Amino acid sequence: MMENPPVIIRVKNLYKIYKVGETRVRALNGVDFNLYKGEFCAIVGTSGSGKSTLLNMLAGLEKPTKGEIEIAGKHIEHLSEKELVAFRREKVGFIFQSYNLLNTMNAIENVALPLSFRGMKRADRLARAKKYMDLVGVGEQARHMPNQMSGGQQQRVGIARALAVNPQIIFADEPTGNLDSRTTMEVLKLMQKIVRERNQTLVMVTHDNQLASYADRRIRIIDGKIVSIEEGAVEIDKRQQEEEQGV
């Protein structure tokens, strides 16, 4: 990573408090951190830790009770719902655990779909979709329906869809949760490659410490509070070589 890359996400004193009957539940309890351009960051925590709430707030899907979220110089906590929809459409790509492909469309149509909301012509969006499908290794599956593809292929299509909008930030929610271990490594390697070669910012939410070890930084969250921030990524090629050599 380059020295002192620009901050792309700035989170300050972030709280999310829910009322459950008479009880106030602090899903996020005063969270502060910065994320940088070209960084692969994992937000790590068990179920109920607040990690998914945090991802939803960074993506503008939930409003904070208190605090600031600044993304690419814009304070999204002040935006209206209409402005948030435009923000997500223009700045953000999503990768989901369950792939979220439409079964009535083939792979290339799924990848091109978000571009239709930008008013891009069909021929142009299909050409761009094909480019990103080739990039992530599923170009030959362009005309396949989701039910004709493996889970790994469907997730690569999902990654191509996230990249096709040329987002400043990609949010990945347990992106390998439905994949076997070998396919998980392939998808993580692809995500590392995208971040390094395209200088994209990728924020992955996971409960899995081993998956998180491939991120440049890990933000660990327990009961709505950050308990540690660790740096340094395991390189997948090196880990695979060690495993093959029995290290």
The dihedral formed by the CA atoms of 236, 162, 200 and 67, expressed in degrees to the nearest 10 = -110
Q: What is the CATH number of the domain that holds 100?
A: 3.40.50.300
3-state secondary structure of 235: coil
Interaxial angle between packed helices 122-135 and 151-164, expressed in degrees from 0 to 180 and rounded to the nearest 10: 130
Number of domains in the chain: 1
**Dihedral (Cα; 105, 109, 115, 118), 10-degree rounding:** -60
End-to-end Cα distance, the chain = 27
pLDDT of the chain along its 247 residues, tens only? 446 789 999 999 999 999 888 899 899 999 999 999 999 999 999 988 999 999 999 999 899 999 999 998 889 998 999 999 888 888 899 988 888 899 999 999 999 998 888 888 999 999 999 999 998 899 999 999 999 999 999 999 999 999 998 898 999 998 888 888 888 888 888 888 888 888 889 999 999 998 899 999 999 999 999 999 999 877 766 555 555 555 4
Identify whether 18 is part of a domain. no
Q: Could you tell me which residues come within 8 angstroms of residue 222 by beta carbon, excluding any fewer than 6 positions away?
A: 45, 46, 49
Range of the domain at 120: 39-60+90-244
